[in-house]
Every structure is written in C-alpha cells, then in structure tokens.
A and B are shown apart, each in its own frame.
Chain A
C-alpha cells in the first residue's frame, strides 16, 4: 500500500515505522525538516519537508498515487483541510484525520472525514476499564463508541430467546457459541446453559448490559 502520513510526532513516527516494516510504501510530510533524523535507520520511505495543507507539498509526496492519507499533526484544522484536499482534489480513497479537541468532532463529521480521537478514545477506555471490569471488550470501533463484548449467559436466561437480549440502538447479539460451535443466531434461537454470546454494545450501555447479565436489570 502507498500511504502518505502528515505529521511526524510520536504517533506519526510510530505509524510510519510500522507501515514501513510491513512493506508498505510510506511518505512522511513534516513541517520541521530536522525531524527527519528521528526516522529509524533502514527506513525505506520518503520524507517531504513542508506544510501538508499546501497542494504543491502534497504533490511532492505523490499524493495522487496514494491509497491512503493519514493527517496526524497537532492542529485539528490543518488535519481536516489536508484530509479533505487529499480526498476531494487528489481522489485518495482512504483518508483519516486525527482529532485532538473533541469539540471539533461534529465539524469533521459534517465535512465527511473519518477521525481518530486521542482524547475520546482514552476517556472511553478508562471509563470502561474502571466501571466495567467484568466485560472486557474484544474489539472497539470508531473512537470506542461501540464495543464487541463476549460473555457467558447467566443461568436465569437459559431457555429465553435471543430476541429478548436486543435493545434497539444499544445492545445487539452477533454470535452465539454453544457447546464449542459458533453460529449467527436467529431472533428465535433459544439460549442454553453455558452458551457464550458476542454482544455489540454502545459504550454508554455497558452498564445496562452488565446489570442485564448480573440479573439486576428490571
């Protein structure tokens, strides 16, 4: 994959190093030319000094040939301008921008740019680690707004139908493992003793799911 990374701070450097090690063709765009020396020896990618919102700087990074563009500078506005320019002007198919201040989230959404938000991801993760010790997520999506959680069903739910576990907009059931065999359940599938269920759950509804599984949900 050809990937252009704008911003070579801690995250940009780690990402560039990782992509390079995995055999991808990496170009880093960084305002500060002296940062070049932080790239690991043996790095096969390219380094372009300049501001990644400027079209001719993006062109020096061969943006039109890139399959992915990731904007990781500390400046939210620069990230969104560069990401949107990469997508709309240079037709880069996959574009991601970092979001530092969650207050800018709605604007990124309005402009149609996918984001990774360090603050929101950390907040969601800490809350979830401290509040929901028994429900370890297997996977989180977006900035942690939804999670995939697996749990053994409590005995009091044996004999009930999968459809009784659904809460629209909050909790869904995507998979059931019964006696070692996994399947995608029907709404009418009956739960049995010892079944392990994979839930997709909104971060704000983890407490509800937990009290549900504890049998304390009225």
Chain B
C-alpha cells in the first residue's frame, strides 16, 4: 500500500485516483475542478479543496507523509509549481508530472522536481512513429 496524492480534476486525475484506490493504495485528491467535490466523494475518494500551489493545501492533503505525488492538472504551470513544492518543500520521494502541451515537455525534469513525466500526445505519436 502506498500513500498517493493526485492533483487534478475530472478526467485523467480522477480516473488515475480511482484505479489506484481500487488497487489498494491510499489516495487523496487535490481537486482543481470547481464544484466537483461531491462527485469525487461519491467515487469514494478523499478530496481536499484548495489551491495546490499553496503549501498549506498540500499539507492538508498529507504531503509530509506521502510516497508519490501526481501533478495531473490541465495546466502545465500548475503542475510544475506543484512538482517543485512537492520535491523541495515536502521531499516527496516520487513526483510524476502531466504534460499538457508537448512543447513544454523538457521543462518536466530535475529543474522542477519532476521524477517522471506523462505526455499523452508524445505517447500517441511514439505508438504511430516509434522513436528511431
């Protein structure tokens, strides 16, 4: 069992959180969608409201004792700031960042505290045209 924080809202973040919860992990979502707390709660997820780029919100989600943080919002700048806070401020061992605009992909690395990135468009392209 791992303790995991997922930052994001409906769609990718919610589905990832649900799948990990069903796999037996302890998941907390920092919900970045307005007015969706009840939907996340109905899905059986522990959800925290607030601005994820503020340390107090991450702390309320248990950032001091979490194993993994997934910065999975639809905003690259939010994901980068959250990742750096997770690594620098809370020393979270594994930080995963979602890339929304593939032109921003090379920002998602050590400079912003990101250990691994997920870039949907790059993933699809590599399935069609595998890297040489």
Contact = CB atoms under 8 A, between A and B. Distances in A.
How big is chain B's contact interface, by range?
20 to 34
Interface of A: 51, 53-57, 75-78, 80-81, 85, 88-89, 101, 103-104, 106-107, 110-111
B107 A81 contact: yes
Given A53-B76, A53-B77, A53-B80, 17 more contacts: A54-B101, A54-B104, A55-B104, A56-B103, A57-B103, A77-B53, A77-B77, A77-B80, A88-B111, A101-B51, A103-B54, A104-B53, A107-B55, A110-B85, A110-B88, A110-B89, A111-B84
A54 B53 contact: no
B117 interface: no
Interface string B65-86: 0000000000111101100110
B81 A81 contact: yes
Contact of A89 (B77, B85, B111): B111
Task: Point out which of A75, A88, A103, A106 has the most chain B C-beta atoms below 10 A from its C-beta.
Answer: A103
21 contacts: A51-B101, A53-B80, A53-B107, A54-B104, A55-B104, A55-B106, A57-B103, A75-B77, A77-B53, A77-B77, A77-B80, A81-B76, A81-B80, A81-B107, A85-B107, A101-B51, A103-B54, A104-B54, A107-B54, A107-B55, A111-B84
B101 A107 contact: no
Nearest to A73: B77
Task: Point out which of B88, B89, B103 has the most chain A C-beta atoms below 10 A from its C-beta.
Answer: B103
Contacts of B77: 53, 75, 77-78, 80-81
Contacts of B81: 77, 80-81, 107
Contacts of A111: 84
Contacts, number: 50
Contacts of B80: 53, 77, 81
A25 to B, nearest CB: 25
A85 B108 CA distance: 12
Contacts of B78: 77
A139 to B, nearest CB: 31
Contacts of A106: 55
A71 to B, nearest CB: 11
A44 to B, nearest CB: 28
Task: Point out which of B80, B85, B111 has the most chain A C-beta atoms below 10 A from its C-beta.
Answer: B80
A58 to B, nearest CB: 11
Nearest to A85: B107
B104 A107 contact: no
B51 A103 contact: yes
A21 B88 CA distance: 42
